[in-house]
């Protein structure tokens, strides 16, 4: 579909939109499909760039592509398809999207960082998870050792992923989770980086079990909010997130709050481990913000026994020193491992991230290509809504939340609906988990009514709302 006036896109018009590439083992096809401007969207016949695995095996972040199925990668996807056995891919860009892509191959597997990741996975799988299974069995069979300990058997590996910005932490977490899932494990993934959201909108911290296939087409590769439960069937199994509302972009914006929230989250994860044998054996993968401070302050409660440092020898040394001699509460030493960063890992630019956030919000309410959702527009009086606001600038002794009346500035903000009661203390509300989100469409001060978009119909009842400081409203969803 050549579009007049779009210059260089035309030449690679209909005939050349389809091509086939062949990758050698440990090769990668890296691609990036920029976000669309809203004016340009939905014009084209194709929703995105389609890829079909003709032969061999290929995977996106550890999740295998089904042979001969057509996958559509939407605008706003920046990722790679990797093959450890070699493959042929058929790539089709009938929509004429400004796809940027390249093939990367390494002279030998040893030079691909993916090999390290895979080996790391096998290390966890063969030693840690296997040992956890054994421990489990021993406990079940009443082995003396564990009876004496009167404790939970040691869980599977708990891995903390850290590294500089843009070192590929999230991708690696995703990959490790997917690889484990492929082999039948159900690892728990936790995200401590408020800039991303794990199965949630940005500005949140959360955790979820990944026991099922991850969505290859999701721009976020299975970590996107679009993978959370909907009211209908879902072609890719949904995941069940547990999220806290941080409401700020960076840890530094409210470090104390972040710390408390991660501790809460760690507590929930421990409880999950206690309750769920499969998850306990599979272990935990923790994604962190790109902060050295971050790993340290959030670490203890997680009882991690592996700290993976991506692409920074310096950070690794620092951590090795810092963690030397430390033990988890299970008595294990903490291993600090360095893994190479993939040269394909890049820092996400601000503009891109902003668009991605927008997309996430849209997908939360309206769904993606797989399922169209119909949110509900509702209207409520000021009295029916209980809105709390996080203070603009946190300071020592500041209230965690302030009750506010809806104001016109609130328009287009995304508010978190909390699983708590309006009568609860601000503290309780702040640290309860998120029920969902609404977007304020309009605030009519005169009539004291608020119009908002909600995923589920029905009144909000006595669920309080929290108005965070981030992500800021970028778009008018109802326009």
Partner 1 sequence: MKLATMSAAEDAAADVAEDYRQALEDLTVNSRIEIATLTNIARENSQHAMAIAEVLANHIKKVPPPRTLPALYVLDSVVKNVPTPYALYFGPKLYSIFMGAYTKVDNPTRRKMDEMLKTWKEPVPGSTNPKPVFPPEVVKPIENALIAAKNVALQVNQSSFQGQQYMLRGARGPAPPHRETPTPPNVRPATQQPGHQYPPSNGHMPPHGGNGGFPMRPHNGPDVLPPRATTQPPYGGAPYHQPPQAAHQGISIERLRDDIQQLIVAEKAEFVRDPLDVGKQTRLKALLDLQTLIQRPDVPQEQLMLVKEKITELSVNMRGSLPAGGTAGVAPVAAGYTVPPYTATPTPPVIPGAIGAVPPPQVPAGAGQQRPPSAPAVAGSAPVAGAGAGALSLDSLFGQGALAALLAGATRKSATPTPTQTGTPIPPPTVPPPVAAGVPAPAPVPAAAASLAASLPPALAAVLQSRSHTPTTAIPGAAAVVPPAPHLEAAIPKPAASAPPTVPAGAVPPPPAPAPGAANPSALLAMLRQSGLLSGGAAAGGPIIKPEPGTGLLPIIPNPLAGQPGEPSPLPAWAFTLKQYRGPHFINRLHEDLGPPCTQCGRRFGTDDEGRRKKTAHMDWHFRVHQRVTDAERRGQHRSWWVEQSDWVSSVEAIDVDHSHRPDATSAQSKGIPGQDTLNYDDEDNDDDYDPEASFNQSYNSYSGASGADAAGGYGGAKSQGGAGRGKGGKKGPGGTKNYIPVPEDSAKVNNMCPICQERFEMKWLDEAQEWVWMDATKVGGRVYHASCHREVNGTGAGQDGGVKLENGGGSAGGGWGGRKRKAEDDGFSGVNARIKLEY
Rule CB under 8 A: say whether 185 interacts with partner 1. Answer: no
- What number of chain residues touch partner 1 (CB under 8 A)? 121
Annotated ligand binding at 167? The verdict is: yes
Q: How far is the CB of 179 from partner 1 (least distance, A)?
A: 7
Residue ranges with strand state E in 62-203: 63-64, 70-73, 77-83, 87-92, 100-104, 158-162, 188-191
Rule CB under 8 A: say whether 235 interacts with partner 1. Answer: yes
Residues 277-306 as x/- pattern, contact with partner 1 by CB under 8 A = xxx-------------------------x-
Pick the binder of partner 1 from 74, 251, 460, 477 (CB under 8 A): 460
Binding to partner 1 (CB under 8 A): which residues in 133-172? Answer: 134
Rule CB under 8 A: say whether 209 interacts with partner 1. Answer: yes
Pick the binder of partner 1 from 18, 43, 69, 379 (CB under 8 A): 69
Pick the binder of partner 1 from 333, 351, 391, 408 (CB under 8 A): 333
Pick the binder of partner 1 from 22, 92, 182, 259 (CB under 8 A): 182
DSSP secondary structure letter of residue 271? H
Q: How far apart are CA 213 and CA 63, in angstroms?
A: 7
DSSP secondary structure letter of residue 221? T
CA distances from 7 to 13, 15, 102, 103 (A): 11, 17, 21, 25
Q: Which helix (H) or strand (E) holds 429?
A: helix 426-430
Q: How far apart are CA 185 and CA 178, in angstroms?
A: 9
Q: Which helix (H) or strand (E) holds 350?
A: helix 350-366
Rule CB under 8 A: say whether 11 interacts with partner 1. Answer: no
Rule CB under 8 A: say whether 420 interacts with partner 1. Answer: yes
CA distances from 296 to 192, 313, 322 (A): 12, 17, 9
User: Pick from 376, 287, 304, 277: which is nearest to 158 by CA?
Assistant: 304
Annotated ligand binding at 381? The verdict is: no
Q: How far apart are CA 27 and CA 25, in angstroms?
A: 5
The tokens describing 323, both together, are 């963690």
Rule CB under 8 A: say whether 266 interacts with partner 1. Answer: no
User: 25 vs 98, which CB is nearer to partner 1?
Assistant: 25
Residues 47-66 as x/- pattern, contact with partner 1 by CB under 8 A = ----------x-----xxxx
Residue 395, judged by CB atoms within 10 A of its CB (0-12, 13-18, 19+), counts as: exposed
Pick the binder of partner 1 from 271, 329, 391, 409 (CB under 8 A): 271
Rule CB under 8 A: say whether 175 interacts with partner 1. Answer: no
Q: Which helix (H) or strand (E) holds 61?
A: none
Q: How far is the CB of 316 from partner 1 (least distance, A)?
A: 5
Annotated ligand binding at 169? The verdict is: yes
Annotated ligand binding at 389? The verdict is: no
Q: How far apart are CA 89 and CA 19, in angstroms?
A: 8
Q: How far apart are CA 425 and CA 51, in angstroms?
A: 51
Annotated ligand binding at 259? The verdict is: no
Binding to partner 1 (CB under 8 A): which residues in 70-109? Answer: 84-86, 106-109
Pick the binder of partner 1 from 81, 309, 401, 443 (CB under 8 A): 309
User: 163 vs 298, which CB is nearer to partner 1?
Assistant: 163
Binding to partner 1 (CB under 8 A): which residues in 189-208? Answer: none
CB atoms within 10 A of CB 435: 18
User: 44 vs 328, which CB is nearer to partner 1?
Assistant: 328
Q: How far apart are CA 466 and CA 53, in angstroms?
A: 45
Residues 338-367 as x/- pattern, contact with partner 1 by CB under 8 A = xxxx----------------------xx-x
User: 97 vs 244, which CB is nearer to partner 1?
Assistant: 244
Q: How far is the CB of 232 from partner 1 (least distance, A)?
A: 3
| Annotated binding-site positions for ATP | 28, 78, 166-171
């Amino acid at each position: 579909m050549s579009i007049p006036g779009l210059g260089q896109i035309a030449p690679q018009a209909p005939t050349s939109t389809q091509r086939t590439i062949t990758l050698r083992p440990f090769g990668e096809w890296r691609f990036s499909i920029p976000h669309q401007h809203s004016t340009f969207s939905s014009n084209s016949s194709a929703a995105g760039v389609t890829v079909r695995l003709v032969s061999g095996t290929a995977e996106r972040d550890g999740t295998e592509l089904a042979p001969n199925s057509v996958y559509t990668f939407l605008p706003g996807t920046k990722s790679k398809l990797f093959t450890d056995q070699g493959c042929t891919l058929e790539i089709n860009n009938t929509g004429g999207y400004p796809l940027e892509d390249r093939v990367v191959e390494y002279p030998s597997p040893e030079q691909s960082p993916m090999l390290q990741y895979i080996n790391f996975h096998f290390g966890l799988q063969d030693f840690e998870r296997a040992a956890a299974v054994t421990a489990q069995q021993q406990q079940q069979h009443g082995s003396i050792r564990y009876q004496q300990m009167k404790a939970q058997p040691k869980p599977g590996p708990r891995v903390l992923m850290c590294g500089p910005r843009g070192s590929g932490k999230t991708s690696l977490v995703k990959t490790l989770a997917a690889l484990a899932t492929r082999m039948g494990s159900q690892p728990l993934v936790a995200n401590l980086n408020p800039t991303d959201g794990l199965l949630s909108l940005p500005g949140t911290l959360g955790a979820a079990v990944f026991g099922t296939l991850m969505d290859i087409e999701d721009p976020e590769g299975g970590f996107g909010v679009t993978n959370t439960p909907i009211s209908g069937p879902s072609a890719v199994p949904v995941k069940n997130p547990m999220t806290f509302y941080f409401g700020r972009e960076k840890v530094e914006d409210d470090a104390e709050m972040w710390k408390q929230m991660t501790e809460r989250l760690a507590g929930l994860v421990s409880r999950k481990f206690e309750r769920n044998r499969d998850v306990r054996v599979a272990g935990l993968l923790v994604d962190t913000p790109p902060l050295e401070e971050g790993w340290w302050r959030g670490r203890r409660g997680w009882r991690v026994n592996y700290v993976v440092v991506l692409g920074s020898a310096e950070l690794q040394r620092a951590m090795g020193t810092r963690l030397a001699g430390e033990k988890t509460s299970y008595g294990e030493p903490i291993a600090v491992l360095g893994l190479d960063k993939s040269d394909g890992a890049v820092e996400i630019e601000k503009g891109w991230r902003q668009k991605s956030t927008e997309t996430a919000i849209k997908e939360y309410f309206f769904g993606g290509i797989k399922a169209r959702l119909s949110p509900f527009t509702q209207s409520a009086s000021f009295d029916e809504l209980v809105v709390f606001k996080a203070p603009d600038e946190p300071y020592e002794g500041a209230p965690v939340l302030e009750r506010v009346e809806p104001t016109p500035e609130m328009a287009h903000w995304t508010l978190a609906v909390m699983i708590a009661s309006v009568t609860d203390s601000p503290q309780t509300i702040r640290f309860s988990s998120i029920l969902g989100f609404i977007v304020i469409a309009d605030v009519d001060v005169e009539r004291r009514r608020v119009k908002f978009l909600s995923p589920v119909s029905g009144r909000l009842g006595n669920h309080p709302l929290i108005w965070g400081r981030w992500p800021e409203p970028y778009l008018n969803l109802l326009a």
